[in-house]
Amino acid sequence: MASDLMDKLVSLCKRRGYIFQSSEIYGGTGSVWDYGPLGVELKRNLKDAWWRRMVRMRDDVEGLDAAILMHPKTWEASGHVDGFTDPLVDCSNCRRRFRADLPEVADGQCPVCGTRDAFGEARQFNLMFKTFMGPVEEDANVVYLRPETAQGIFVNFQNVVTSARQRVPFGIAQIGKAFRNEITPGNFIFRTREFEQAEMQFFVKPGEDVEAFEYWKAERMQFHRSLGLDESKLRFHPHGDDELAHYAKAAFDIEYEFPFGWKEFEGIHNRTDFDLARHEEYSGKRMEYIDPTTNDRYTPFVIETSMGVDRSLLVVLADGYREEEVEGDERVVLGISPKLAPVKAAVFPLVKKDGMPEIAEKLSAALRDAAIPSFLDASGSIGRRYRRQDEAGTPFCVTVDGQTTDDDTVTIRDRDSLEQVRVSTDQVIPWIQERIR
């Protein structure tokens, strides 16, 4: 059933223009995906919601957009060159490669061809993509596509302190691309080789890190609840001693119950002073903070919140997908929160005469002018048009009918409750604006 649900979701995403297989006309690129017209809007809305809450609504968090290509010593200092590896085994029969720590591989059976005892010794495989900077492919010119966005924040710590005149405690946030050469990616956009992260590193005085850690745990969970997600499908997962990253003093995952099980889509970590101290060691530049009031010198501890944008988008899609029966008919609905929905309103002229198409076009244009994404649909029966918009996740459908020409009112239908209200055309924009905030 879980597999069926994911297949339906993947099919819907392609059919409605959310997500396409990358380079599909050439057979596709493994675990790389393109976002279509609706998908790119949903992704932008999700990132905007994160940025608004993390940066624009706060005076203690600054924004940053660090480069993807960084000095290779960055990744030596962070531990990625030596430690960012997965154990890899090869099947001698089908020649496929797998992570050795997968349960289906650990018992000695190939999950693709079924051959037993076909694996050799595990080898360590670095997950970073390597490339070259400059015209000659020499070792001196090796650079990496960043496997995380956090290091761009750490190396700019002093720059932000100085230019933004911030005082600890404060945070630095950014949204950006990261790349990992995953051995066993899968589950649609859950585990991919190219993805986006929304990360915030919050710098605190040592000794104040535990309180800050608890604050950001609660704050991040509240953010996901504000997106209208099913709370019964959200939970914290604490990392045990055997799960903690080398830099972490404590860590919690925020997990969602996907059709394929409980999986993490955001992490909150107490990174201590590991990153700043390492960059000071490798660069020779001081990363200490000097308190302007007390003149105390210390290397700040860091509380990290790291959200996978693509995984979070999959959470929104999976949480919103439902199938139900309405008056004897089946309908598929993407019950996405109106503030995240790619298209906020669809406008329908009931028939193609009596001036209705012109009124609908004018109303749709007015919605767009008010920064409310709208879609004009004049083809097919009204019921079919409703079903198309339900499946696309559009929360409101506005119908121009015969009464519109008499009293200048239209019908607005709610996607979830199916309730219909009559609203004056000059009140359509404020009516929708109130419900998409």
Clarify whether residues 159 and 275 are in a common domain: yes
**Within a domain: residue 110?**
no
**Within a domain: residue 368?**
yes
Q: Give the count of domains, the chain.
A: 2
- Phi and psi (nearest 5°) for 61? -135, 130
Clarify whether residues 271 and 391 are in a common domain: no
**pLDDT value at residue 55:** 98
**Within a domain: residue 117?**
no
For 89, how many CA atoms within 13 A lie in the half-sphere containing its CB? 21
Whole-number Å distance between alpha carbons of 250 and 244: 7
**Within a domain: residue 179?**
yes
Clarify whether residues 231 and 308 are in a common domain: yes
Clarify whether residues 306 and 193 are in a common domain: yes
**Within a domain: residue 324?**
no
**pLDDT value at residue 379:** 93
ω into 169 cis (within 30 of 0): yes
Clarify whether residues 353 and 403 are in a common domain: yes
Per-residue confidence in pLDDT tens, the chain, 437 aa: 567 889 999 999 999 999 999 999 999 988 899 999 999 999 999 999 999 999 999 999 999 999 999 999 999 999 888 766 677 788 888 877 777 777 777 777 787 787 887 787 877 777 889 888 988 777 778 899 999 999 999 999 999 999 999 999 999 999 999 999 887 667 999 999 999 999 999 999 999 999 999 999 999 999 999 999 999 999 999 999 888 887 889 999 999 999 999 999 999 999 999 999 999 999 999 999 999 999 999 999 999 999 999 999 999 999 999 999 888 889 999 999 999 999 999 999 999 898 999 999 999 999 999 999 999 999 999 999 999 999 999 999 999 999 999 999 999 999 999 999 999 999 999 999 999 98
**pLDDT value at residue 361:** 96
Q: Which two tokens stand for residue 350?
A: 């009931």
Clarify whether residues 307 and 418 are in a common domain: no
Whole-number Å distance between alpha carbons of 49 and 337: 12
Clarify whether residues 253 and 360 are in a common domain: no
Clarify whether residues 298 and 153 are in a common domain: yes
3-state SS track over 258-303: ECCEEEEEEEEEEEECHHHHHHHHHHCCCCCEECCCCCCEECCEEE
Q: Collapse the DSSP code of 40 into the 3-class scheme (helix H, G, I; strand E, B; otherwise coil) and give the result.
A: helix
Q: CB-based contacts of 384: which residues, under 8 Å, 6+ apart?
A: none
Clarify whether residues 161 and 307 are in a common domain: yes
Q: Which of 268, 299, 317 is the last residue of a domain?
A: 317
Domain of 228 in residue numbering reads as: 2-71+147-317
**pLDDT value at residue 81:** 84
Clarify whether residues 240 and 385 are in a common domain: no
CATH number for position 411? 3.40.50.800
CATH number for position 28? 3.30.930.10
**Which secondary-structure segment (H or E) carries 369?**
helix 356-369
Whole-number Å distance between alpha carbons of 172 and 62: 5
Q: Which two tokens stand for residue 367?
A: 């919605």
Q: Which two tokens stand for residue 101?
A: 């720590």
**Within a domain: residue 212?**
yes
Clarify whether residues 277 and 191 are in a common domain: yes
Clarify whether residues 348 and 313 are in a common domain: no
